Amino acid sequence: MTPTERRASVSLASIFALRMLGLFLVLPVFALEARKYPGGDDPVLLGLAMGIYGLTQGLLQLPFGMASDRFGRKRVIVLGLLVFAAGSFLAAAATDLQGLLVGRSLQGAGAVSAAVTALLADLTRDEVRTKAMALVGASIGLMFAVSLVLAPMLAAAVGLAGLFAITGTLALLGVAVIIWGAPAAPVMQPGAPRGRLMEVLRHPGLMRMNFGVFVLHAVQLAMWVAVPALLVQAGLAKDQHWQVYLPAVLGSFVLMGGMFALERRGHLKKMFLAAIVLIALVQLGLLAVSSGTPRLMPLAGLLFAFFCGFNVLEASQPSLVSRLAPMQVRGTAMGLYNTLQSLGFFAGGWAGGSLVKSWGSPMLFLCCAAAMLVWWLVALPMQAPGRQGPANTA
């Protein structure tokens, strides 16, 4: 990477890290802590409170992405982080589950993911793009691992309200990073049409990626409606779940280095399809585990396998989207991509809670496996795009 590419990758990855650390601090304990609020005894309402963030993200990712094409990436990112911080502080002040719903909704309205990833794509060459996106993915995964260790301790000390207050503070730190830490935004070609949605919607490769990210994140969040309970049934107390999550996440990072070597050798498509199959097999394994008496070691192995597949897809998909989309509609393409990602979170939280309530965990994992199989079929015709250089910067 060039110095500008390294600076862009580190600064923008840190924005994701600060924002996602706040979100992940809440995720491992939300289902347990939110039950203490009035209305928290309804699994469907609880799942909705977890997933409502994804719904508002889904509604606003595309407008934020299109706005970044027209008005500049950095302005849109700062605005989104401020909205996210406001939602966090509102959730911190909530006294019932309905209040949490409102706060989580406003958090989701700070939909900056598309603008951040579009800016990162603008500032990096195609040959290092996946590596840059992997750094973002690694920062997110590391924050997830850190949150699994810190969340139970912080929840015991400051409660769910305190966790939301920390989330808002981290978002404000992200504002400082984007203003003073990130490189200058690229100079776009004058007079070029920008933010044309129909150009993105007519692109079969981009729409294939959009379908995939919806399925991936729906499955991810749906899993976490049931996985914590399985760990408890396997004899692991909720404040010790990090002992399974942390090694699984960190161990999966070790294997990510092989992803770049395979991509350089032209095996990106095979690696991509194999990761989808791996996650489908994990769901079938969780189905088997949840149908009997859960045991800790099989659960730990399945979660490690899940994160191995998830990390590959989480790094390669946004890289592929940014390479398939022309620069003048890159924010729009990333906006639509992140819209489907956010809607996947919402669908996963809502469907996961409904499936567990009506038919139990085995049916949840069976549906997740079926969804991954459908995605594999949709992804089969994919082709890796060619390489282009980075945009000129101001």
Taking only the tens place, the pLDDT of each residue in 201-260 is 888 888 899 999 999 989 988 888 888 888 888 888 877 777 888 788 778 877 766 666
In the chain, where the domains are located:
3-186+199-379
- Whole-number Å distance between alpha carbons of 279 and 219: 9
- Whole-number Å distance between alpha carbons of 217 and 114: 16
| pLDDT tens sequence across 270-305 | 888 999 999 999 999 999 988 888 888 999 999 999
DSSP 65-126: HHHHHHH-HHHHHHHHHHHHHHHHHHHHT--SHHHHHHHHHHHHH---HHHHHHHHHHTS-H
Backbone phi, then psi, for 101, in 5-degree steps?
-60, -45
Place of tokens 């910067």: 393
| pLDDT tens sequence across 315-371 | 788 878 878 877 777 788 888 887 888 778 778 878 888 888 888 889 999 999 999
Residue 392 pLDDT more than 50? no
Domain 3-186+199-379 has CATH 1.10.357.10: no
- Whole-number Å distance between alpha carbons of 372 and 274: 11
pTM of the model: 0.71
Position 208, amino acid: R
- Whole-number Å distance between alpha carbons of 27 and 352: 15
pLDDT band at 394 (very low <50, low <70, confident <90, very high): very low
By the 10 Å C-beta count (0-12 exposed, 13-18 middle, 19+ buried), 385 is classed as middle
pLDDT band at 55 (very low <50, low <70, confident <90, very high): confident
| pLDDT tens sequence across 16-44 | 777 777 777 777 777 777 778 887 677 77
